């Protein structure tokens, strides 16, 4: 079957944005990449990419660092403490929560 140009994956730069916070602020949530979503390092572009059925997302360094930890093993709280060792900034807990809430809304993590 073929449905024409609608199959085109959109490519976009990952970005933080404010969104519905409830999920991203539950400290016990153990985020994991959604079914069919994987993260790779692309040798041609020297960039981290998030791949999924209809999209390719070019990740910036912090988005990649967060999403690589979304294995379902770690709670949001423990992810934040691990990321705090890697990245500086007082707003880090809030930034990570907001990013993951957005990622859940986009269907990247569950």
Partner 1 sequence: MPGAPAPFALLAELTHRCPLHCLYCSNPLELRRRDEELTTGDWVRVFGEAADLGVVQTHLSGGEPLLRRDLEEITGAANGYGIYTQLVTSGVGLTRQRLAALRARGLDAVQLSIQATDARTATTIAGVGAVSAKARAAAEVVVGGVALTINVVLHRLNIDQLDAIIDLALEWRADRLELANVQFYSWALANRSLLLASTDQINRAHERFLQRRRDLGDRLKMTWVRPDYHDELAKACMNGWGRTSLTVAPDGRTLPCPVASGIDTLRFDSVRDHPLAWIWQESPAFAAYRGTDWMPEPCRSCDRREIDFGGCRCQAFALTGDASRTDPVCLLSEDHHLVTAAVSAAGRECPQGTPEPREGIAGASYRGWPGSDHP
Given candidates 21, 36, 72, 89, which one binds partner 1 under the rule CB under 8 A?
36
Task: Pick out residues in 64-103 that bind partner 1 (CB under 8 A).
Answer: none
Closest CB 18 distance from partner 1, rounded Å? 18
Region label for 46, one of left (φ > 0), alpha (ψ between -120 and 50) or beta (otherwise): left
Number of residues lying near partner 1 (CB under 8 A): 30
Closest CB 29 distance from partner 1, rounded Å? 12
What whole-number distance in Å separates Cα of residue 78 and Cα of residue 26? 12
What whole-number distance in Å separates Cα of residue 51 and Cα of residue 48? 10
Strands 10-13 and 55-59 turn out to be parallel
What whole-number distance in Å separates Cα of residue 48 and Cα of residue 59? 5
Is the separation of the CB atoms in 31 and 100 below 8 Å?
yes
Closest CB 71 distance from partner 1, rounded Å? 17
Given candidates 19, 26, 56, 92, which one binds partner 1 under the rule CB under 8 A?
56
**Residue ranges in contact with partner 1 by CB under 8 A:** 1-11, 34-38, 40, 42, 44-45, 49, 51-54, 56, 104-105, 107, 110
């Amino acid at each position: 079957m073929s449905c024409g140009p609608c199959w085109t994956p959109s490519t976009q730069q990952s970005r933080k944005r404010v969104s519905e916070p409830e999920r991203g602020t539950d400290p016990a949530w153990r985020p994991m990449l959604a079914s069919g979503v994987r993260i790779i390092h692309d040798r041609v572009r020297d960039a981290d990419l998030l791949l999924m059925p209809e999209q390719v997302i070019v990740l910036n360094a912090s988005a990649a660092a967060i999403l690589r930890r979304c294995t379902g093993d770690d709670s949001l709280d423990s992810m934040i403490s691990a990321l705090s060792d890697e990245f500086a900034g007082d707003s880090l807990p809030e930034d990570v929560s907001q990013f993951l809430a957005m990622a859940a809304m986009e269907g990247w993590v569950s």
